Structure formats: structure tokens, C-alpha cells
Amino acid sequence: MIKVDISNVWGEIALPDLLAMEKEVSAAHNTLKDGTGAGNDFLGWETLPVAEPTEEMKRIQVAADRIRSDSDVFVVIGIGGSYLGPRAAIELLQGPNHNIGKGKGNPQIFFAGNGLSTRHWNELCRLLEGKDFSIAIISKSGTTTEPAIATRALRWMLERKYGTEGARKRTYAITDPSKGALRQMATEEGWESFVIPPNVGGRFSVLTPVGLLPMAVAGIDIAKVMKGAYEAMKTYDLRSFENPAWQYAAVRNLLYRRGKAIELFESFEPGFKMFGGWWQQLFGESEGKDGKGIFPVTAEFTADLHSLGQMIQAGERNIFETMVRFDAPENKYTIPSDWKNLDGLNYLEGRTLDYVDEKAYLGTVAAHVDGGVPVITMDVGELNDEKLGEMFYFLELSCGISAYLLGVNPFNQPGVELYKRNMFQLLGKPGYETK
């Protein structure tokens, strides 16, 4: 079980404040699990985890093995939850530099269709030169602008390189089971396809084929990921403040009511950055409605302590932090001696890097709490495939409870559509001329 340490929030809030929320948190959890709240038609994520591989999971693994054997590069096309979840999983377990040195048997994995940068597109084209590659198109509709543009371009590149039949065998679609432009394309072109359940929203889709196929191509054991999520589904159904999901959801809402409107979600692991990006979308799109919501920001320590540290320490007191901690890996690095000691580091001779990391964490917490910033710590334990599944489910559950505590629908995102309408009008898309 993930341990949530809230000892560093006392002073901003008190234990009686937390205990007084018990009925409120219980009601929010019951609303979520009973399906009686707003957005209850998007609760399919709650029952996705399984203890044993399903037939679709087995089919995903077969497709992943095929991609691993015939491709130097696997390109995942998607935006929002269609790419943040799988990228978060891969980088957290394998690091931000996981693509270096990879090829057939263990392909590089790149992401496309998550922006409109020509420079980024040109870079991807350079990376694909001379490489065998396959693509996965992830979209419920198939008409979202950014991934649709990338899909057109990459389909053309595949057909030019491999011919129509060869391109068909290297194209995979992950989409709605029965409707939408991408479902139609997949059917007409004969692409192998996998289903995004209609009752699972994009930011909650990481435990569907959206996340599972890229994870499997990366060599992650998706059966273990789902088993970890399955155990979390059972463990975190606890209806009391012994449930760390209750603690996290309740404390962040109490802090928000005390004027803490910004949450920094951070870790001392560079590979955590994209996981923080996944969390940022999960909570940002779920809670930012009706003039409410905690603004989610992710950070990487210690690197960002040298850029954001001053603001955290002495800026406006409207923030709180959630620090995610992992057990140290088995393979440790020991700091060597230097007889000149010009850098003054010989006092650390013989110490391991994780020892220094732990002291940096403790020193950071003490400094920030002394500076008036409450700090929640999530102690995850050993980082592995099963723990990854547990983390995803834990945070999805915490998000649903937290949003209902806030009084908003966790599962819609009406504000996301507004920029699209303006963009379509400026682009002259038919039907948007006068809107």
C-alpha cells in the first residue's frame, strides 16, 4: 500500500479539521463507487484491472511482440491521455533516455500528434530515416486535429516505404468499438485494432490498450501492471481514513479551502517528469471547473530546486507540495575519494548517492515547511511493473474522490473545446465560419 505522510501539513490544518471531513469524504467515495454522481457514464476505469490476462491483453502482447521483432521504431500517435499515460509509464520505469541504443527486438518509441510544431515533426522524420517502423493511432474519434495531421503524414510515409499491404500490417488503431472516423478507417483499411471502452475517458485510459500496447512494446510486463492495479482496486476500497486515497483527497481539499490553490507534484527522479504530466492532466481536467480547482504543477527535484526553489521558499504562500518517494534501487553508486579534494566532497567519501538523495529530500521538506509550505509525502516503495499499476489506480481513485469533494464533475472537460472552436474558425473549417 502507498503510504501518505501528512505530518508536515499540521499547522496549516489540524487533526480535528481532517476528522470533521469523514462523512464528506465517505459520501464522495460512495458517490464514485455507487455511480450516483455527475459523469457516472464514464466510470469504466474503475473495473479495468484484472488479476489474470484477458483475451484482449493476450492479443495486445502478440501485436507488441510482432512490432518488437519487425520495427526499429514504434510511433505512438495521440494527444492528452492518448499519449501521456503510456509515455509516463515507459519513462518512469525505463528513464527519459530509454530510446538510446535501441532497435529491432527492443524498438525505440516516439510520440507524435501531441502538438503542432514543425521543428518537432522534422526531428521525427530525421529519426525515422532508414528505420523500419510501425505506428499506433490512438483516438476515440480520429478527427482531433493534431493526431489527425500526424496520422495522414505517417500513413503516407508507411505506404511509400512498404506499399499498401506492407503499411497495413504496420498500422494499429486504438479507438471506439463501433463509431468514429478512426474506427471507419481501421475497418476499411483492415488495420489490427483495439478498443477504448466508451465509458472510459481519455485521461483515465492508461489501463486500456491506450497504455498497454505501448507499454508491451517497451518490454513492460502488462500482466504485472494490471495485477498491481487489481490489487489496488481491492485495497483502496477501504472506507475510512486508514485509506491513503482518503488522506490525500481530504488533505488537498482542506489546504485548498485554506487558500492553497497550487499543488506542486514532484519527485527526485528525472524519469518522473512525464508521470507528473499525466497526473497534471488527470487532476487539471477533472477539477478545473465552475471557477474552482487546485492548479496542478509538476516538478523534478533536485534540478528544479535550482529554478523554482526561491519561489517555493519565499514566494506567495498559496502553494502546497506532494512529494513522491521511491525505494532506492539495488544497484547503488558509491562516491569515491579524490586526494586533492578541490570540490570539498571527501566528507561524502564512501557514501551512496541514494544516501545523499535522502538527505536532500529531508532538508527540502524541512526548509519548505519552515517557509510556510505544507508538504504531503507519498512513499510508493519499490518501483516496478506492479507498483506502476497501483500508482495509476490510486491516483485515479483519489482524483475522483477529490473532485466530488470539490463539487465538480470529474469526468467532463467542457473548457477544452473552446480553444478548438476559435482555432477552427481561424482556419476556416466548414461549419465554424460564424460560430
Active site residues: 285, 306, 420
**3-state SS, residue 174:** strand
| Residue for grid cell 481514513 | 241
The DSSP letter of residue 376 is: E
Q: Which residues pair with 133 in a beta bridge?
A: 73
In Å, the largest CA–CA distance within the chain is: 75
Q: What are phi and psi of 426, to 5 degrees?
A: -65, -30
Spatial separation of the C-alpha atoms in residues 380 and 377, rounded to whole Å: 9
Which grid coordinates are listed for 276?
507528473
Listed residue (85, 141, 88, 138) closest to 113, CA to CA: 138
Do the Cβ atoms of 287 and 402 come closer than 8 Å? Answer: yes
- 307: alpha, beta or left, given left = phi > 0 and alpha = psi -120 to 50? alpha
Other beta carbons within 10 angstroms of residue 213's beta carbon come to 26
Listed residue (327, 265, 321, 252) closest to 292, CA to CA: 252
Do the Cβ atoms of 146 and 77 come closer than 8 Å? Answer: no
Q: Which residues pair with 111 in a beta bridge?
A: 76
Spatial separation of the C-alpha atoms in residues 368 and 400, rounded to whole Å: 28
Listed residue (10, 18, 8, 73) closest to 253, CA to CA: 18
| Residue for grid cell 477552427 | 424
Listed residue (155, 154, 128, 136) closest to 73, CA to CA: 128
- Helices vs. strands in the chain: H and E counts, helices first: 15, 10
| Residue for grid cell 473545446 | 417
Spatial separation of the C-alpha atoms in residues 209 and 391, rounded to whole Å: 18
